[in-house]
């Protein structure tokens, strides 16, 4: 058994690189609430350029980034349309409603991107009889849809519809660089048609803390006020922003290694017909596994994997998620694949 613990629960478990730690130690700082932190300023300029937007703002977390975006785009009592499995609706503890007074309209689609023909009737409703729908939220890559990279044609159709009705579009692009690599396009193209985009520095890009919210200058000014309402005003945050600069200059292209490792892992599991896996479902750095055909719960599967120093994420009663990341090398992933294949084979043999 390998002594090292191979953590495939998420790409949030990644540690900052040595270069990030050195950059943090040497960071030039100031009080960001006064707009005086030069390292934060450099990060915000760089982030805006990366996604092709006019301005950006550094926030402690992706959830705060999404919430400030919603607050800046909407007013209390209005509606926002989103996929029923999206992160904003599923994981952010109702922040849009409890903090912003926004009511979600959730729609279901197989790839996580709402269909225009489903969304349009909500945009056509009488403003004198129904709350105004002022925002559409998209997610790319889409976590709970298997780490799926949403095609630009699908996103473009929704954005074009939103423009026709004067509705804003916000993109939860926590893993937008993964999406761009999977789609074979520049990250600017993924963000091109949306009004705002949030992306994380602390997932596959390995920074210890932080996310970015980008849009036009007026929007970011509104978002800064919303960030302050949420307690997100920071002081000498250049210490953290310095790691984010390394993320954006050195870590984006290497995400393809995570994609390749996920495909290796998936390939090993595809040998089991009982699991009903499809090669085309593995877009980025995530592999989802249904444990129901094995006759055990996801919790039980995770516990058995942990006995071999493989950590996986329980994503539902019978759903397990494995996420390849910077801190799990090719050797680690091959070992994990071997262990999981043996584990699945032993479970199936006992069931015979």
What pLDDT is stored for residue 76 in this prediction?
A: 96
Main-chain phi, psi angles of 249, to 5 degrees:
-100, -20
Q: Tokens 């091109």 map to which residue?
A: 192
Tokens describing residue 216: 């036009």
Query: Is residue 350 pLDDT above 90, yes or no?
Result: no
288: enclosing H helix or E strand: strand 286-290
pLDDT tens digits, one per residue of 269-295: 999 988 888 877 889 999 999 999 999
pLDDT value for 251: 98
pLDDT, tens only, 173-209: 999 999 999 999 999 999 999 999 999 999 999 999 9
Quick: pLDDT tens for 299-334.
Answer: 999 999 999 999 999 999 999 999 999 999 999 999
Q: List the domains of the chain with CATH numbers.
A: 6-13+254-351 (3.90.1150.10), 31-251 (3.40.640.10)
For residue 222, the 8-state DSSP code is H
pLDDT at 26 over 70: yes
pTM equals: 0.96
Distance (Å, rounded) from C-alpha 317 to C-alpha 315? 7
Q: Could you give phi then psi for residue 200, rounded to 5 degrees?
A: -95, 140
Interacting residues of 333 by C-beta distance below 8 A, sequence separation 6+: 6, 261, 264, 265, 324
pLDDT at 277: 84
Distance from C-alpha of 343 to C-alpha of 102, rounded to nearest angstrom: 46
Q: Which of 206, 177, 144, 262 is nearest to 11 (CA)?
A: 206
Residue 352, pLDDT > 60, answer no
pLDDT band of residue 14 (cuts 50, 70, 90) is: very high
Contacts of 153 (CB under 8 A, 6+ apart): none
pLDDT for position 2: 67
Cα separation, 44 vs 58, in Å, equals 6
Both tokens assigned to 36: 């005086």
Question: Is a pLDDT exceeding 90 seen at residue 21?
Answer: yes
**Which residues on adjacent β-strands are paired with residue 79?**
103, 133
- Only one residue has tokens 């029923």, namely 84
Token code pair at residue 72 = 């800046």
Preceding peptide of 141 cis, ω within 30°? yes
| Residue spans of beta strands (DSSP E) within 63-195 | 79-83, 103-107, 133-139, 168-172
CA distance 324 to 74: 36
Looking only at the bridges linking them, the beta strands covering 196-200 and 211-215 are: antiparallel
Eight-class DSSP state of 250: I
β-pairing, 286-290 vs 103-107, is unpaired
Please return the burial class of 112, using the count of CB atoms within 10 Å of its CB with bins 0-12, 13-18 and 19+: buried
Average pLDDT (62-78) is 98
Residue 351's pLDDT is what?
A: 61
Say what the pLDDT of residue 210 is.
97
Cβ atoms 123, 165 nearer than 8 A: yes
Tell me, what's the pLDDT at 3? 82
Residues forming a β-bridge with 314: 320
For residues 189 and 152, is the Cβ–Cβ distance under 8 A? yes
User: DSSP 3-state helix, strand, coil percentages of the chain (rounded to 5)?
Assistant: 45, 15, 35
């Amino acid at each position: 058994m390998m002594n090292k613990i191979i953590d495939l629960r998420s790409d949030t478990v990644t540690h900052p690189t040595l270069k990030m730690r050195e950059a943090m130690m040497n960071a030039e700082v100031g009080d960001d609430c006064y707009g005086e932190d030069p390292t934060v300023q450099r990060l915000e300029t760089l982030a805006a350029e990366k996604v092709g937007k006019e301005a950006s703002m550094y926030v402690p977390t992706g959830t705060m980034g999404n919430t400030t975006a919603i607050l800046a785009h909407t007013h209390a009592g209005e509606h926002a349309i989103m996929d029923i499995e999206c992160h904003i609706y599923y994981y952010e503890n109702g922040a849009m409603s409890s903090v912003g007074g926004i009511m979600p309209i959730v729609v279901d689609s197989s790839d996580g991107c709402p269909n225009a023909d489903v969304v349009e009737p909500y945009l056509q409703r009488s403003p004198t009889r129904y709350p105004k729908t002022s925002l559409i939220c998209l997610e790319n890559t889409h976590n709970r849809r298997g780490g799926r990279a949403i095609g630009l044609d699908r996103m473009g159709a929704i954005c074009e519809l939103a423009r026709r009705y004067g509705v804003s579009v916000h993109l939860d692009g926590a893993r937008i660089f993964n999406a761009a690599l999977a789609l074979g396009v520049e990250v600017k193209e993924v963000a091109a048609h949306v009004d705002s985009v949030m992306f994380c520095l602390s997932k596959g890009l390995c920074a210890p803390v932080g996310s970015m919210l980008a849009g036009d200058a007026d929007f970011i000014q509104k978002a800064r006020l919303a960030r302050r309402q949420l307690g997100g005003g920071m002081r000498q945050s250049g210490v953290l922003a310095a790691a984010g600069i390394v993320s954006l200059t050195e870590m984006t292209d290497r995400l393809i290694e995570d994609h390749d490792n996920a495909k290796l892992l998936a390939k090993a599991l595809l040998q089991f017909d009982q699991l009903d896996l499809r090669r085309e479902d593995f877009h980025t750095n995530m592999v989802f596994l249904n444990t129901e055909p094995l006759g055990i719960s996801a919790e039980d599967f995770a516990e058995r994997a942990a006995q071999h120093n493989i950590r996986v994420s329980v994503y539902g009663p019978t759903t397990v998620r494995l996420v390849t990341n910077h801190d799990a090398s090719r050797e680690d992933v091959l070992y994990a694949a071997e262990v999981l294949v043996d584990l699945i084979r032993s479970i199936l043999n006992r069931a015979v």
